[in-house]
Every structure is written in structure tokens, then in C-alpha cells.
Structure 1
């Protein structure tokens, strides 16, 4: 069974972002080029957050994709591991989490949903979107063999402030009412055409087997 591993730097950053505010926070994991189940960094994009939901900004996700491709990373390195935090004790996926994982990642060969709760509980599940269409929970561990670069709380704090816009549940409900969106439907990841075009691009090989 594969193990989702975090470098000490990536794990420290995820813990910091989890505890920085009182809402959920979502992001993308940046994987090692030679081991896609080893997470080297966590990246946020602009998002609106509540204690029970995260909504990514479509343009911000498209910009993030462009930036990562420009830096020479393949799609599998930055868009296969979706992670977010829970401000409570439980890391069990909510109904919205399950719907999002099913809706957004059903067209890719493999993906991971990872959740870290403030109480310390964690959860990760690997999903195969092709072949046998299997899903299985996977363990989480720290890749201690990697060096310990200095933490950068100032940079992490700046990234949080630039990307995360907390709103109250009442504000969230009002925004959804104004937009005509059902309150039980959270668009956590985008359906922007640029996002979909990037996922389908022949420039990327999506047949990677993670283990």
C-alpha cells in the first residue's frame, strides 16, 4: 500500500496554515518529481472560507496552473493531491468533501483527498479514476530523510493573508442566495475551461502509476 509522505518542511507549513485562522483552508500539494506521493510544499490560492467550506477562485487556480507549468512541473506534481483542513477534531470527509472529490477528480487517472483536523486527526484516500475505479485509504507519514530547511512563518503568513478570505456562515449564505446557488452545493474547485483544457492537454502523461 502506498504512503502519502510529507517532508518536514511541508508538514510544518500545513500545520501552520491549519492553525492560522478559525476556518477551513484548502490548497494543492506540490509533489517530488521522482516520488509523487512525497509532498514537498503546500500552495494556497485565493479562496473564500468558512468553518465548513472552502471555495477556490477560478482565475487564481488557472494562474496557479500556468505558474507551475512555467516552472517546469508536470500536472501530476501539482494537481493530484487536494488537501484541506478541518477546524474541529474530526478529519472524516464531510458530504460536501465527498461530492467535491467525486465531481472534480472523476476524470483523472488518480488523485488523493487529504484532510488534517485541528485536533490532530488526519485522513487520506487514493482514488483511481480509470481502470478498476478503486478507492482506498492510505497512511500518512513524515519523510524524515529529507533535510530540515528553516521554517518561514513570515512568508507562510503572507501567503495566508493574500489567499484566504474568511466569511461567516451568514455571509456565506447571503452570497449563495445572491448568486442563486443552492446552499448545499459548494464549488470547491473550478470548472473554468482553462482548468479543464489543462487537464486534457496532450502535453501531460496521465498514465502514471503512483506505486
Structure 2
């Protein structure tokens, strides 16, 4: 999968803006389903290890995208989120969310960018029980505008609400989540 320089710069800005995860949707053009030209946030509640999109905000986002003439393949197939730690590996919760939310799509991508620049991308297709790893790159072939941090800051402030971390014993962890958690809280045993 590839990102435009604009989308990549915005993603780095969003990743580094706060201490929580941040999630959004990749926007693509027809005929280029895995070329992310922009990233759009929706209202969300975030912690260091979770992102919860507001259901009404997602519905409004879908309506806005359809009104703009886009098809779901252009705005609802690439789930992008950040990890504030060093690991871009998806947690068990990430895998469960990807399967639950995108499992009925003919194809979908889960992309994660970690604080240190590590990336993870997988493509899941209907009928294939196994996902395909994707390489990640930035496409500099076309002209591109510079960053627009003032606009990105406004979008971040409108959409991202940091939530308090629940006590560790209240987290609904899946097997394999502990290494990711121990990165956030190094005093926890792995």
C-alpha cells in the first residue's frame, strides 16, 4: 500500500500530537484502492491502547462521503490507527475489531503506525481465511502541497477525546495483548 506525502505527513502529525492511539479512515481514488491520498478522523474516545469511534460520527462520515460522490471502496476499507509505543504489531483487540467491523467487506486493510516509525499493514479478502501482509511506501511521483498543521490540529481537537485509562484488571484483554501493554507500562510482567 502507498500513501501520498500529504497523507503520510498528516498521519505522523496525528500520531505525535498526543499520548493516545488515534484512528481514522484512508481516502482513496477510484482505480487506486490501496493508495491513501488523505486520512479522515471521526469523533473518537482514545486511550494509550484503545480507540473507540462514535457510531453516529461514523454514520455521518459515511453519509458525507456518499454525498461527495465516493463509493465505500474509497473511504471505508482502510482502517488506520496509531500506536503510541514502539510496536506496530496489532493486539488481539485490533485483530478482533478488524474481523468484526470489516469482516463482511470484500476486502479491507488494517494499517498501524507506531511512534518509532514501525508499520504494520494487512489485507483481508472475503473467502480467504488468511490475511496478506502489505508493504508500505510513500509515492512522491506527483506534485504535492506542503503540510497543513493548522487544519490537522483543528480536526484532531474536534475528533479526538482522550479517555482515562481503565484499571488494568478491567481491560478485556485477548491472548497476545500483554507484550503491547508491557511496552506502555514496563512494570507489568510479560
| TM more than 0.5 | yes
| 1:184 alignment partner in structure 2 | 172
TM-score, with length taken from structure 1 = 0.78
SS at structure 2 position matched to 1:90: coil
The offset of 1:105, in angstroms, is 1.2
Q: Deviations over 1:5-50 (max 9, x none)?
A: 0000000000000000000000000012221110000000000000
SS at structure 2 position matched to 1:14: helix
Q: How many residues align?
A: 172
TM-score, with length taken from structure 2 = 0.87
Please list, as runs of the form range in 1=range in 2, the aligned pairs for 1:153-192 lying within 5 A after superposition.
153-170=149-166, 183-184=171-172
Q: Deviations over 1:124-171 (max 9, x none)?
A: 0000123x344111100001112121211000000000000001213x
Please list, as runs of the form range in 1=range in 2, the aligned pairs for 1:61-80 lying within 5 A after superposition.
61-80=58-77
SS at structure 2 position matched to 1:85: strand
| 1:203 alignment partner in structure 2 | none
- Mark the runs of 5 or more structure 1 residues left unpaired by the alignment: 174-181, 186-211
SS at structure 1 position matched to 2:8: helix
- Mark the runs of 5 or more structure 2 residues left unpaired by the alignment: 174-190
RMSD of the alignment, in Å? 1.5
| 2-structure distance, mates of 1:154, 1:139 | 30
